[in-house]
Structure 1
Amino acid sequence: MIEVRKIVVTVEEVRHDGGPPLAAPLLKGALACVVRNPFAGRYEPDIVPMMEALKPLGLECATKLLAALGNEPGRIEAYGKGALVGSAGELEHGALWHVPGGYAMRELLGQALAIVPSMTKVGPMGAVLDVPIHHKDAAYVRSHFDGITVAVADAPRADEILFALAMTTGGRPHARVGGLAKEDISQWNGLR
């Protein structure tokens, strides 16, 4: 059921964002995995088996992204996921990535209590997907509200889905708008 056409991994090394240079560069990575959509062009009432079938791919993708960011789970502070469904598919086909993509990252990162933020949309080949990102242990850590843009020039074709994962080694450079700081996480409930 799962036919992968390509996997694209990108890593940004952010040294500053208009302010002073950071003590250590922030790494922001994204992985796009382009798969054939077996439901393209038709309505299928029972799509849950594909979600199960995607679980090994979710783990493979999360492992590749973590490796591209240095293969140190303890350095990853934030994450996100998303899906871009080709024009012959439907929004619900992208939602199949919620469990395989999100739980794969949480498994690899060990303690990862916060829900993995997500974006899903239908779009043409070359469309842009802005993947939301927030802190992996507490969704309200304001310094880590961020995102990364994912696009693959020849994907998704009408009968494909682009599944995306994102991870970062920190929050926004020069974050200074207040709110809960990562050092002040206290409830360990995924929120605060």
Structure 2
Amino acid sequence: MPDVVVRKIATVIEEVFHEGGPRANVPQKRGAVVAVISNPYAGAYVEDIQPFMEDLKPLGLEMAQKLIDALGGDASVIEGYGKGSIVGTAGELEHGALWHAPGGYAMRELLGDAKAIVPSTKKVGAAGVRLDVPITHINASYVRGHFDAMEVGMNDAPRANELAFVLVMSTGARVHDRAGGLSANDIKGEDGLR
């Protein structure tokens, strides 16, 4: 199995006080952690790539913990999450799909076995490309106030032979959530949806 060779990791935190309406006393926080690694499959088609997912699990846990710490260190305040990957131009979209299990399960584990599926996005792109990573509530995907996204990217990544893996978390609903639907207080917690 290939080694996971990390070139760099970046973490960014946003504090959202308002979106044109009244200023919130407590801002919604959104954070992202991005790890740029070598793509062991760049430049060639490899049939069996699934074993690399196992190799990525420690990176997923490290990134999830780093993001929880950056958001204050208390996993219980995290209410939203998402993940994504950007594949350098010598790779293929399927290489980005290798992040689904290691990234998603790492967050779910560290957030107390969160119930909802972790929303995801991926693309192939050149260095500097941006990715909109979707965010939903960690325990119920239908909580409309937590439908959100965070744009992430790096000016020099991913290079053609790299992968950029992303985890995103938030501490609550959009700052001026008023579009209705299921609220976080009404989650039943039965199926990860409601």
Structure 2: which 5+ residue stretches go unaligned? none
Quote the residue 1:121 is aligned against: 123
Is residue 69 of structure 1 aligned with residue 108 of structure 2? no
Matches for 1:22-41 after TM superposition, within 5 Å: 22-41=24-43
CA contact (8 A) 2:27 2:175 kept: no
Query: Which 4+ residue blocks in structure 1 deviate beyond 6 angstroms?
Result: none
Matches for 1:39-78 after TM superposition, within 5 Å: 39-78=41-80
CA contact (8 A) 1:114 1:190 kept: yes
Answer with 177-186 or 161-170: which moved more.
177-186
User: Could you tell me how far apart the structure 1 residues matched to 2:48 and 2:125 are?
Assistant: 23
Matches for 1:1-192 after TM superposition, within 5 Å: 1-192=3-194
1:21, CA displacement in angstroms? 1.1
Q: Deviations over 1:64-96 (max 9, x none)?
A: 011000010110000000000000000000000
CA contact (8 A) 1:137 1:188 kept: no
CA contact (8 A) 1:78 1:169 kept: yes
CA contact (8 A) 1:34 1:155 kept: yes
- SS class of match (2:99): helix
User: Could you tell me how far apart the structure 1 residues matched to 2:37 and 2:110 are?
Assistant: 22
What's the Cα RMSD here?
0.7
Matched to 1:189, the amino acid is D
Equivalent residues, number: 192
TM-score by length of 2: 0.97
1:142, CA displacement in angstroms? 0.3
Q: Deviations over 1:118-147 (max 9, x none)?
A: 001100100001100000000000000000
Structure 1: which 5+ residue stretches go unaligned? none
1:187, CA displacement in angstroms? 4.3
* Percent identity for Structure 1 against Structure 2: 59
Matched to 1:153, the amino acid is N
